Amino acid sequence: MKSHRKELMFHLKTRRGLVNITRRVQEAVDESGVLEGLVLINPMHITASVFINDDEAGLHQDFEAWLERIAPEKPHSQYRHNGFEDNADAHIKRSVMGRESVAAITKGKLDLGTWEQIFYYEFDGKRDKRVLIKVIGE
């Protein structure tokens, strides 16, 4: 069994943002030489998420509006955690959107549905962040 590890680095200039990382994940799969297996894509921070969905701007705006209704950023005083930092909403948004994603690899390619893409979703940006890509298989 082969195993390959790669880290992606991010530093978003905004507090929140979505980045389509599908191409970069496929590049890691290509580097691994794995033809049949799985790839784990995991943000190594508790205020970010990786998920698979459609790359459509209206949907992305819907995610942002929905998450802001569930866990509004402000006022910061509404959260107990914000006695330490001002990012309690980011922790909640990450919990809602999930931690990581796993995708199948078939014949050396990501085996995604017709409209599926892989996204990094940052909820507390403006600083360095990492995403782990772990490829395993034959």
In tens, the pLDDT along 5-42 reads: 999 999 999 999 999 999 999 999 999 999 999 999 99
**Domain limits at 126?**
2-55+97-137
In a domain, 74, yes or no: no
- Give domain status of residue 60, yes or no: no
- Tell whether 133 is covered by a domain: yes
Q: Do the domain assignments include residue 107?
A: yes
Question: Is residue 64 situated within a structural domain?
Answer: no
- 83 found inside a domain: no
- Domain of 103: which CATH number? 2.60.120.460
Supply the DSSP symbol for 76: G
Tell whether 11 is covered by a domain: yes
Q: Tell me how many domains the chain contains.
A: 1
What does the alpha-carbon distance between residue 9 and residue 11 come to, in Å, rounded to a whole number?
Answer: 7
Integer Rg of the chain from CA: 16
* pLDDT digits 0-9 by tens, 75-118: 999 999 987 789 999 999 999 999 999 999 999 999 999 999 99
